[in-house]
Amino acid sequence: MKTNWILLFLAMALCSKGQNIERTQQGWNIKTNASVYQLALTENGRLVPSFYGDKAQSSQFREQDRIRQNGPFALEEIPVRGRYADKIPTLELIFGDNTRDCELQYIGSQILNQAGREVLEIIQKDKFYPLSVTSYIRVLPEYDILEKWIVLKNTSTNKKDIILVENLQSGSIYLPSDRYYLTHHSGQWLREFQLQKTELTAGIKRLQSRDFFSFQNTPWFAISTKEGLADDKSDSPVWFGQVHYSGNWSIDLESTHSNHLQIVGGINFWDTELSLKAGESFSSPKFSVGYTSKGTDAAAQLTHDYIRNEILPEKTKEQIRPVLYNSWYATTFDVEETHQMALAKKAKELGVELFVVDDGWFKGRKTDHAGLGDWEVDKEKFPNGLNPLIKQVNELGLDFGIWVEPEMINPNSDLYRKHPDWVLHFPNREKTEWRYQLTLNLAREDVYKYLLTSMRNLLKDHNIKFIKWDRNRGLSQPGWPSAPLAMQREMRLRYMDNLYKMIDELKTEFPHVLFETCSSGGGRPDLGMLERMDQTWASDNTDPIDRLFIQYGYLSAYPANTMVCWTNKSDAHKVNFDEEFIFDVAMQGVLGIGQDITKWGETQTQTAQDKIAEYKQIRDLIQKGKVCRLKSPFEGSKVALQYTSKQADRSIVMCYNLGETTEGSTNESRQSKYIKLNNLVPTANYKIEEKIYTGDYLMNIGLLWPLRGAYTSKIIKLQKI
């Protein structure tokens, strides 16, 4: 047996060679620019991850030294429910004879090419039952990121052979023994993307969604070996990752008593199961993981580039996002042509490029109690339809956008009266309304076809360049009583499949329409959605103080050209903000205006014109540049972000004061009064206003903090000369 495995090793070494995937005698070195993922193939045909971290390890193959209980139980590349209960399983199955134990054996592997990227494909099969398990690792070396996913197939030809899938995760990561700290997002509605850091002591830490909302956690994590929230910003090993899924997801992190760490990510199969019939396959979503030795800022920058270049929709990913105006706060549901045109004319005067009509334009929509589901233009509000309004908006030189919420339905709607069975519900239970809404059962093909037709007709019949796609309630009562019993707990999986399919169809038919994902604000921020939509409404909270925290946290995981930020008159903390401060906060991402601008006086109008013009001069840096978070609101009252061009010939630094303290009274006030910049050319000269500095000086000495007084801001512009 041993001789056979050695011959197999040699044969595979000859036929499986790639630039980033290296076959060794022990297994594989899977390398990016800065990392190596070492995967061993043992003499008895088991796949065992042995190391993930700095690329220097690639010259020496490390053996896994994970120890549990009273024996050396190795963690496998695809941990399954079976044999020892010493790991988080990525795969849990029940076979036809009720066997709940899975035992995989290695069959073969090959290096594939997917969109110019090397992919390691490894095939395993159950030793007895008709199950094929194919795992994939796709290498994106310049981002130091690996993408992992798994495909199951029931290989039986007997229709009676059904495999019940109770859990399939996208991948598992093993980290050697160390003291690890987890940084993740926590939050709730209006408090999204708050950064939390905790030590991973022995036990399991779970991040998850169970109701299609990701307010409490987002499907992102960062792991370091340093304790303080800012201690790992630079010069620190950091492992980071995301689950590319918009439904229920989970990320589990188990630290053993010996301080080894397993990280598992994928679909959260809570209250979900899948019947895999003979000949059928099921693929997990992607789980992307990365490593850098340069800290969390470098991890964020790598992630930003990865999302901008590899994830965002191909047709629009290079497009500069326009300055938008949204009419919601000016009109709420009282939408009609005359007022909308008054807003559009004022928006044009300010320098806005995209005018968006929000909720209230469709049939029966006078309040949030009625109308959802009836995606026809309200003839009372728009007797001649939307096209006369759109034509006038276009004649001003503005693009036109519109708000929709396709996945929801009001009981007070024609659609519900006609198809009450189309909503998610359980028999003999009162339907739970949330915001006067129920959820359409998008797992049903008739619901899918109705919504696709409704959205297609909306776009086909109108010159719409932007869709704000909202979803204002979480999932509850996921019942599907009309489906066969074996299918009913597949509802969440089928719902997401059809949602993705519908958006994909619309993006294919209307490739130049920008889509914004909104879910009561930041309730659905994930790479599964950003693969299809161009930007994210980060929060319904537009208060500038709160937004500084929300936006700083958002930029840990997602790039600035996906982060929509509005100016508004929100003042939850009773500060009475200066208009320039409000704009400077909103200029960190995709700038939008949300107030009733018809009520603005000359001073507000002039300020808005000046700030929008300034934003347009620097938005290429903001939306496409490298972001460095210099000072964190989670660490003190000073906040600073730096955006720099790829060539490092231009840069801006956005500075904000949240408060003032007596000198020497706090840790922050006892620190240096200078702020050090990053990502510049050390030998180059940079002009700031009328002064000249070298890049070396700015990065190692810095600039004197430019602000005095609470709730003040300043944007510093650097130009290489």
Distances (CA, A) of 609 to 350, 587, 601, 614, 715: 5, 13, 12, 9, 16
How confident is the model over 693-703, as a mean pLDDT?
98
Asked whether residue 423 carries a pLDDT value surpassing 50, the answer given is: yes
Rounded to an integer, what distance in angstroms lies between the CA atom of residue 442 and that of residue 696?
56
**β-pairing, 324-326 with 590-593?**
parallel
Q: How confident is the model at residue 229 (pLDDT cuts 50, 70, 90)?
A: confident
How confident is the model over 19-31, as a mean pLDDT?
96
For residue 74 the two structure tokens come to: 């190795």
For residue 387 the two structure tokens come to: 């096209």
Rounded to an integer, what distance in angstroms lies between the CA atom of residue 40 and that of residue 62?
9
Tell me the CA end-to-end span of the chain in Å, nearest whole number. Answer: 68
- 685: Cβ–Cβ under 8 A, 6 or more apart, which residues? 692, 693, 694, 695, 720, 721
For residue 490 the two structure tokens come to: 């597949």
Asked whether residue 622 carries a pLDDT value surpassing 50, the answer given is: yes
CA nearest 252: which of 239, 237, 238, 267?
A: 267
How many degrees, rounded to 5, is the angle at CA 247 between CA 362 and CA 415? 30
Q: How confident is the model at residue 84 (pLDDT cuts 50, 70, 90)?
A: confident
**What pLDDT sits at residue 122?**
98
**Between 1 and 696, residue with greater pLDDT:** 696
**What pLDDT sits at residue 17?**
61
Q: pLDDT (tens digit, 9 = 90+) per residue, 114-138?
A: 999 999 999 999 999 999 999 999 9
Residue whose entry in the numeric block shows the structure tokens 């797992």: 443
Strand partners, 196: 184
How confident is the model over 392-420, as a mean pLDDT?
98
For residue 347 the two structure tokens come to: 């928006």
Asked whether residue 4 carries a pLDDT value surpassing 60, the answer given is: no
- 670: Cβ–Cβ under 8 A, 6 or more apart, which residues? 664
**What pLDDT sits at residue 232?**
87
C-beta of residue 74 within 8 angstroms of C-beta of residue 48: yes
CA dihedral 483, 485, 489, 494 (to 10 degrees): -40
Burial class (CB in 10 A: 0-12, 13-18, 19+), 404: buried
Average pLDDT, rounded, for the chain: 95
H helices then E strands: how many in the chain? Answer: 13, 38
How confident is the model over 269-295, as a mean pLDDT?
98
**What pLDDT sits at residue 10?**
37
Rounded to an integer, what distance in angstroms lies between the CA atom of residue 195 and that of residue 453?
40
CA dihedral 310, 312, 314, 319 (to 10 degrees): -120
Q: How many CA atoms lie within 13 A of 439 on its CB side?
A: 26
* Least confident among 53-57, 60-64, 498-502, 540-544: 60-64
C-beta of residue 360 within 8 angstroms of C-beta of residue 377: no
Outline where DSSP puts E strands in 9-141. 21-23, 27-31, 35-41, 47-54, 91-94, 104-114, 117-126, 131-140
How confident is the model over 624-641, as a mean pLDDT?
97
Q: How confident is the model at residue 72 (pLDDT cuts 50, 70, 90)?
A: low
Rounded to an integer, what distance in angstroms lies between the CA atom of residue 202 and that of residue 257?
5
Q: pLDDT (tens digit, 9 = 90+) per residue, 436-467?
A: 999 999 999 999 999 999 999 999 999 999 99
Q: pLDDT (tens digit, 9 = 90+) per residue, 176-228?
A: 999 999 999 999 999 999 999 999 999 999 999 999 999 999 999 999 999 98
- 639: Cβ–Cβ under 8 A, 6 or more apart, which residues? 548, 552, 631, 632, 633, 655, 656, 658
**What pLDDT sits at residue 7?**
37
- Number of C-beta neighbours around residue 119 at 10 A: 18
For residue 42 the two structure tokens come to: 């043992």
How confident is the model over 297-318, as a mean pLDDT?
97
Question: Three-state SS for 267?
Answer: strand
Q: How confident is the model at residue 1 (pLDDT cuts 50, 70, 90)?
A: very low
Strand partners, 279: none
Amino acid identity at 401: G
Q: pLDDT (tens digit, 9 = 90+) per residue, 488-526?
A: 999 999 999 999 999 999 999 999 999 999 999 999 999
Question: What distance lies between CA 17 and its chain's CA centroid?
Answer: 33
Q: Please provide the DSSP assignment of 110-129 as one string.
A: EEEEETTEEEEEEEEEESSS
State the chain's maximal CA–CA distance in angstroms. 85
Q: Any idea which residues carry the catalytic annotation?
A: 470, 540
Amino acid identity at 564: V
Rounded to an integer, what distance in angstroms lies between the CA atom of residue 700 and that of residue 696?
6
**What pLDDT sits at residue 9?**
39
Q: What is the DSSP secondary structure assignment for residue 64, as one 8-state letter?
A: P
In 462-479, which positions are buried (b, 16+ CB within 10 angstroms) versus exposed (e)? bebbbbbbbbbbbbbebb
CA nearest 303: which of 496, 114, 562, 515?
A: 562
**What pLDDT sits at residue 660?**
87
C-beta of residue 333 within 8 angstroms of C-beta of residue 574: no
**What pLDDT sits at residue 5?**
37
CA nearest 475: which of 712, 259, 268?
A: 268
For residue 349 the two structure tokens come to: 């005067």
Asked whether residue 13 carries a pLDDT value surpassing 60, the answer given is: no
Asked whether residue 471 carries a pLDDT value surpassing 60, the answer given is: yes
φ/ψ of residue 612, rounded to 5: -65, -40
Burial class (CB in 10 A: 0-12, 13-18, 19+), 298: buried
- Give me the percent of the chain exceeding a pLDDT of 70: 97
C-beta of residue 417 within 8 angstroms of C-beta of residue 374: no
